[in-house]
């Protein structure tokens, strides 16, 4: 799912760093290093349901492309975060790094949600342009979105076994016929059983 970095309505982004497209077109190539403040990190932690964010920085390169009509953004983020163990609810510190890219174009060049368009499956997501609002690109919000995508979806404390599953696997298990002889796979510990044991110990 793609999100524009300049929402037309709603609250302002927690971590906003605006770059104007005309500055990129004028210079042809622009590099920005950005860092979230303590207040911004706290607000982002609340948004992403994290226990905390100790550091969030990104180095972002913006290039004028396609005859000066669009802006290519390439970035690399680094963050120190504290997530919550999905089994024990203990804090789980983690270092997060991610590379990301996006293409931005004027609103007039980007089809609206009501338009019926066919997207070539061979085109990478970062080659599908996102709309700039008033020629502005928020590289802070773009960084925040990719931090969210880079987080561990199943954080677990050290020493706690967890073999997360996908929705597809869950649907297959639900559709499979019942087998009285079938039991829990001894090679795959049940995370909920582990949680129950921890509760009894307490």
Give domain limits for the chain: 18-108+124-150
* Residue 28's pLDDT band (cuts 50, 70, 90): confident
Give the three-class secondary structure for 140: helix
* Residue 159's pLDDT band (cuts 50, 70, 90): confident
Whole-angstrom distance, CA of residue 8 vs CA of residue 132: 11
Answer whether residue 8 shows pLDDT above 60: no
Answer whether residue 120 shows pLDDT above 50: no
* Residue 186's pLDDT band (cuts 50, 70, 90): very low
Is the pLDDT higher at 123 or at 62?
A: 62
Amino acid 9: pLDDT: 53
* Residue 11's pLDDT band (cuts 50, 70, 90): confident
Q: Which residues of 19-52 are buried (b: 16+ CB within 10 A; e: fewer)?
A: bebeebbeeeebeeebebeeebbebbbeeeebee
* Mean pLDDT of the region 172-188: 49
Percent of the chain with pLDDT over 70: 67
Alpha helices (H) in the chain, listed in sequence order: 21-27, 38-47, 139-150, 167-175, 191-201
* Residue 163's pLDDT band (cuts 50, 70, 90): low
Answer whether residue 151 shows pLDDT above 70: yes
């Amino acid at each position: 799912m793609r999100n524009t970095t300049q929402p037309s309505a709603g609250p302002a982004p927690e971590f906003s760093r605006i770059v104007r497209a005309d500055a990129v077109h004028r210079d042809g190539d622009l590099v920005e290093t950005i860092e979230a403040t303590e207040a911004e990190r706290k607000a982002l932690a609340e948004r992403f349901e994290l226990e905390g964010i100790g550091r969030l920085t990104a180095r972002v390169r913006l290039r004028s492309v396609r005859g000066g009509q669009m802006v290519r953004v390439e970035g690399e983020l680094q963050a120190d975060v504290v997530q919550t163990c999905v089994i024990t609810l203990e804090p789980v510190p983690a270092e997060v790094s991610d590379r990301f890219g996006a293409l931005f174009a004027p609103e007039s060049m980007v089809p609206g949600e009501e338009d019926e368009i066919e997207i070539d499956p061979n085109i990478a997501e970062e080659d599908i342009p996102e709309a700039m609002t008033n020629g502005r690109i928020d590289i802070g919000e773009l960084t925040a979105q990719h931090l969210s995508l880079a987080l561990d979806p199943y954080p677990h404390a050290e020493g706690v076994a967890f073999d997360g599953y996908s929705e597809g696997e869950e649907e297959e298990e639900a559709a499979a016929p019942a087998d009285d002889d079938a039991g829990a796979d001894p090679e795959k510990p049940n995370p909920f059983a582990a949680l129950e044991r921890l509760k009894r110990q307490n």
